[in-house]
Amino acid sequence: MALSDRKKRILRAIVETYIATAEPVGSKAVAQLAGLDVSTATIRNEMADLTELGYLEQPHTSAGRIPSAAGYRLYVNELMDRQQLTIQETQRINDALNLKMEELDRCLDRASKVLSQISDYPVFTMAAAREKVTVKRFDLLMVEDNAFIAVVMTDTSVVKNKLIHIPGGLSDPQLQMLSAVLNSSFVGLSREEMGEALDKMETRTAPGAFDLIAMVVEFAMEVLADQGQQKFRTAGITHLLEHPEYRSLDKAKPLMAYLSEENDAPRLPATLDTSKNMNILIGPENVNDALKDTSVVMASYDIGDNMRGVIGVVGPTRMDYSKVTARLSYFADSLTRMFGKELPSPEESTEE
Amino acid sequence: MALSDRKKRILRAIVETYIATAEPVGSKAVAQLAGLDVSTATIRNEMADLTELGYLEQPHTSAGRIPSAAGYRLYVNELMDRQQLTIQETQRINDALNLKMEELDRCLDRASKVLSQISDYPVFTMAAAREKVTVKRFDLLMVEDNAFIAVVMTDTSVVKNKLIHIPGGLSDPQLQMLSAVLNSSFVGLSREEMGEALDKMETRTAPGAFDLIAMVVEFAMEVLADQGQQKFRTAGITHLLEHPEYRSLDKAKPLMAYLSEENDAPRLPATLDTSKNMNILIGPENVNDALKDTSVVMASYDIGDNMRGVIGVVGPTRMDYSKVTARLSYFADSLTRMFGKELPSPEESTEE
DNA sequence: TTTAGCACTCATATTCCTCGAGTGCTAAAG
DNA sequence: CTTTAGCACTCGAGGAATATGAGTGCTAAA
């Protein structure tokens, strides 16, 4: 059953004043703010109805009402205005992102810091992993007699290198041999496949040569593992402390511990609905226990090579959804514009 | 003037029980704990003396005493026992560090996390910068027609690389030419010198060729800048909230903001006395305002190439100095053992 | 020099009370 | 049937008054 227009206006007024004040809202305040020309008694009746329907809650008999999770949900889905960003805000965001097209990682760090500052909530980012990453080619560079640099390039155009010391020294032809073996036998393999290939090779190769191969391949496996990993980053967790719901440390501590990765709970964007590009999880809708009284607003952005990233804002259920969604979606769009479609096929990729 | 033995025992008992309980210590408690066979009245007299001398403070007339900064200082310098680590603790530390000799950065992250967990305080690390870092050599690797990988190796044996796209494409001889120019004109220069050299070159080089050179040199300059930068990292800041002095958020917020680098105050190890390998700064001894009511215990460790790192623990002035120093020094020693002398001259250095 | 005794101080906890915002219900008015 | 004024009732927040007790400083005797 759809709510009457008046009920909606009342609900909206309650949600918005509660977001602003963090205190239960009474009929009198609603009468003034909702812009309805009815008496407080009428409002009380409507509020009683809304409570009955599950959109409002009463902390105790003689207090005002606060929105329930369902109330927030309705607000977010139907009642909320799209807020506009100020010019200064867009400016700051652009500054943070256009930082000379740096590496993705650093750019994200900076971006999430700014987003946290303009929204007053903690922000997390997460670069989603690709399923299978492989090595595209190996290069070896001689450095003096007893060391060489191994350069590994993945099919995602990420290039990593490592300086490898050879106690016994190594000749140029040997190095070329090594390079040939690596490029013929280990290109195009996933991390697991590499491990298997290496095991097979062990039996039918001279020990000295095998050790060399193994050193490089193990490095390549590390690179692939690292690329496959999801990196969870946060910024601005202390903003939590500015909101009254986290004034009691019992509330703040677990959430902060979760955000600063001090416990090993599964990271949150697990429940991301990729079909929508803006996900809002309100309080109990969160699976993770640490987030039960918390809302999360997440957006995903494209970063080429069919990889997606997630950037999200965390706050109390009484979060300023309107403000946050506006800023977040501007952000995610900008990120997509930067790292996504703009650069075609084999992207420029920068080593960190 | 030196304190009598009895005064010292009393001071020590007060410091230690205050560290344990966070509550002012009265004469009765001291009488029991100091192991002196004198009455509380005598203790009271001695405590009055110690207060007079500035080692103790009285929150209000009818409360016990708490140590002053000078009191802690005396305790740290003369009275404190060296604590022993448990076997489990050394085990955990070793596990964290021996993580297969990974990159320094990751190793430090992990190490500081463990240190924070076993000490219950936040931990920061900082890799101190070298004054002048230069490029030792350039290598260029062709990738397909329109891109190449630039590999830059510094005199600190750090190797970084970047994939650079050339819209117009590039031939093999051109690449070799480029490599020759880079290696002859930009090796051994600091970041600033590179900038100057590049400026000079601009006038007397064909624009097309210059753009190519500039792309690589600018990347090299980024690398040097990054190497010269001090990287400040923290772990376990939420441990702060476990200590009663930070129960009030007004106290906790600025410190946490400082530690999570949300303000731009100068990072703290500026005041490191490198002659000692364990630095303790108690409350007001800290220069930085955010740390006025906070103590910092820092140790430095060697990481080869005459670079030093700093690892430190932050907590309330009522910090368990004995516990912290023991753990911290074990840590710093282990780090030095790992990254310092063990590997001689041109170290194996790992790209991140 | 040490100690017992005692009056005094003062932060904290407890109790009790008041105040008032807000509610639900009822009955009258539209 | 809806709206509104009126009113009694609820219940948390805040404040004053009071009790408690740990701890002190001082004095005088051992």
A42 touches strand C (CB under 7 A): no
Beta strand residue intervals within chain A, DSSP E: 56-57, 66-67, 123-127, 135-143, 147-154, 159-165, 231-235, 278-281, 294-302, 308-316
Question: pLDDT digit string (tens) for B164-183?
Answer: 888 888 888 999 999 999 99
Q: Are B10 and B74 in contact (CB under 8 A)?
A: no
Tokens of B318: 């009522």
CB of B41 less than 8 A from some CB of A: no
Whole-number pLDDT of residue A268 = 64
Strand D CB shell (< 7 Å): A 37-39, 41-42, 45, 60-63; B 24-29, 40-41, 44, 47-48, 51, 58, 61-65
CB of A139 less than 8 A from some CB of B: yes
Confidence of residue B314 (pLDDT cuts 50, 70, 90): very high
Looking at the predicted structure, is the pLDDT value of residue B347 above 60?
no
Among A80, A82, A83, CA closest to A12: A80
Question: pLDDT digit string (tens) for B221-272?
Answer: 988 888 777 778 899 999 998 898 888 777 888 899 888 876 665 666 666 7
Whole-number pLDDT of residue A304 = 67
Name B44's Cβ contacts closer than 8 Å, sequence gap at least 6: B27
Using a 7 Å CB cutoff, list residues 49-68 of B near strand C. Answer: 59-63
Distance from C-alpha of B206 to C-alpha of B184, rounded to nearest angstrom: 18
B37 touches strand C (CB under 7 A): yes
* Separation between the CA of B145 and the C1’ of D27 (whole angstroms): 99
Domains and CATH numbers, chain B: 5-79 (1.10.10.10), 87-128+230-339 (3.30.450.40), 135-228 (3.30.390.60)
* Separation between the CA of B62 and the C1’ of D20 (whole angstroms): 14
Chain C bases having any atom below 7 Å from a protein CB = 2-5, 8-11, 20-26
Minimal C-alpha gap between B51 and chain A (Å):
34
Contacts of A348 in chain B (CB under 8 A): 147, 163-165
B residues 246-305 lying closer than 8 A (beta carbon) to A = 247, 249, 252-253, 256-257, 260, 262
What is the pLDDT averaged over residues B338-346?
51
What is the pLDDT averaged over residues B318-329?
95
Whole-number pLDDT of residue B33 = 85
Q: How buried is residue A175: exposed, middle or buried, by Cβ count under 10 Å (0-12/13-18/19+)?
A: middle
Residue among B145, B349, B351 with most chain A CBs within 10 A, to mutate: B351
Distance from C-alpha of B301 to C-alpha of B106, rounded to nearest angstrom: 16
Question: pLDDT digit string (tens) for B80-128?
Answer: 998 889 999 999 988 887 765 556 677 788 888 999 999 999 999 887 6
Name B159's Cβ contacts closer than 8 Å, sequence gap at least 6: A149, A161, A162, A163, B151, B152, B153, B349, B351
Q: What is the mean pLDDT of chain B?
A: 85
Distance from C-alpha of B48 to C-alpha of B37, rounded to nearest angstrom: 18
What is the pLDDT averaged over residues B300-308?
73
Among B70, B63, B72, B119, CA closest to B243: B119
Distance from C-alpha of A249 to C-alpha of B182, rounded to nearest angstrom: 57
Minimal C-alpha gap between A223 and chain B (Å):
9
Highest-scoring range by mean pLDDT, B29-38, B68-77, B247-256: B68-77
The one-letter code for the residue type at B108 is: L
Whole-number pLDDT of residue B248 = 79
Distance from C-alpha of B296 to C-alpha of B265, rounded to nearest angstrom: 16
Contact B149 A153 (CB under 8 A): yes
* Separation between the CA of A38 and the C1’ of D2 (whole angstroms): 11
Whole-number pLDDT of residue A129 = 66
Residue among B103, B121, B262 with most chain A CBs within 10 A, to mutate: B262
A residues 147-176 lying closer than 8 A (beta carbon) to B = 147, 149, 151, 153, 157, 159-165
Confidence of residue B350 (pLDDT cuts 50, 70, 90): very low
Q: What is the pLDDT along chain A (352 residues), one digit of tens a residue?
A: 578 999 999 999 999 999 999 999 999 999 988 888 899 999 999 999 999 999 999 998 888 999 999 999 999 999 999 899 999 999 998 888 776 555 667 778 888 999 999 999 999 988 766 678 899 999 999 988 788 999 999 988 889 998 888 888 888 898 999 999 999 999 999 999 999 999 999 888 888 889 889 999 999 998 888 887 777 889 999 999 889 888 877 888 889 988 887 666 566 666 677 677 789 999 999 888 888 889 999 998 877 666 778 899 999 999 999 999 999 999 888 888 877 654 433 334 444 3
Handedness of CA A227, A228, A229, A230 (dihedral sign): positive
pTM: 0.81
Tokens of B44: 């009271």
Confidence of residue B336 (pLDDT cuts 50, 70, 90): confident
Contact B253 A241 (CB under 8 A): yes
Looking at the predicted structure, is the pLDDT value of residue B68 above 80?
yes
Among B19, B236, B20, B22, CA closest to B121: B236
Whole-number pLDDT of residue B270 = 60
Name A233's Cβ contacts closer than 8 Å, sequence gap at least 6: A108, A109, A112, A124, A125, A126
* Separation between the CA of B39 and the C1’ of C3 (whole angstroms): 7
